[in-house]
A = this chain, B = another copy of it.
Amino acid sequence: MEAERRGLLIILSSPSGAGKSTLARALMEWDNSLRFSISATTRAPRPGEVDGVDYHFVDEATFKDMVNDGEMLEHAHVFGNFYGSPSAPVRAAIETGRDVLFDVDWQGAQQIANSVLRDHVLSIFVLPPSIRELRRRLETRGQDSDEVIAKRMEKSWDEISHWDGYDYVLVNDDLTTTFERLKTIITAERLRRAQQPGLMNFVRHLQSEFQEVEG
């Protein structure tokens, strides 16, 4: 039995400090049917991390098999460890009408947007209102050294420079406004024809009715 609605793969990208985590949390509270995509990784669990909650912890052979079998929507190699988004849980979720939220960088976003599930991808990029504001948020966030912050800013610029690969771009001037826009975009995209497999049955039903009534 097919669900009325097909879920979306919602990609939310931004440089760190532009509000992405806050927005993602607010979205999960707004709609608790949303699922967060849990990454698979070859790195060792840190104290407190739970397998299947924080990450799917797998060994390198398993990870590589998954990539070779096309079971990763995107993957990357970072500081000697592999990270990726397994496709099976995403497929299961969208087939039952649940959206899946991805927190990935522009490279991950690009891979997902070109994956087999590309027709159901909604990608949104969040821009900071200014570079100074971005730096301020990184500075007030923790006790990072100037050097670490400078590196983060470089990484942020790399991320910002790929803003034009996304379906929607929001400037996060004001968190409330940005969150309203995000909800509007998701609410609208759920109404796309491609997201509503149930429509096909509805039109078939109209057709039988037409034949019955109009002969």
Contacts and interface: CB of A to CB of B under 8 A. Distances in A.
A193 B185 CA distance: 12
A213 interface: yes
Interface stretch (A22-30, A41-49, A78-86, A201-209): A201-209
B193 A135 contact: no
Nearest to A186: B188
Given A153-B214, A181-B191, 19 more contacts: A127-B199, A128-B206, A153-B210, A160-B206, A160-B210, A163-B193, A167-B193, A168-B188, A169-B191, A169-B193, A169-B196, A171-B199, A184-B184, A184-B187, A184-B188, A185-B191, A187-B188, A188-B188, A188-B189
Interface string A176-192: 00000100110111011
A53 interface: no
Interface residues of A, number: 40
A24 B210 CA distance: 26
Given A131-B214, A203-B127, A170 B153 contact: no
A154 B135 CA distance: 63
A170 B195 CA distance: 12
A214 B163 contact: no
Contacts of A166: 193
A154 B188 contact: no
26 contacts: A125-B193, A127-B202, A127-B206, A131-B206, A135-B213, A150-B214, A153-B210, A153-B213, A154-B214, A157-B214, A160-B203, A160-B206, A161-B207, A163-B193, A163-B203, A164-B193, A166-B193, A167-B192, A168-B191, A168-B192, A171-B202, A181-B191, A185-B188, A185-B191, A187-B188, A188-B188
B131 A210 contact: yes
Contacts of A213: 131-132, 135, 153
A16 to B, nearest CB: 15
A128 B154 CA distance: 54
A171 to B, nearest CB: 7
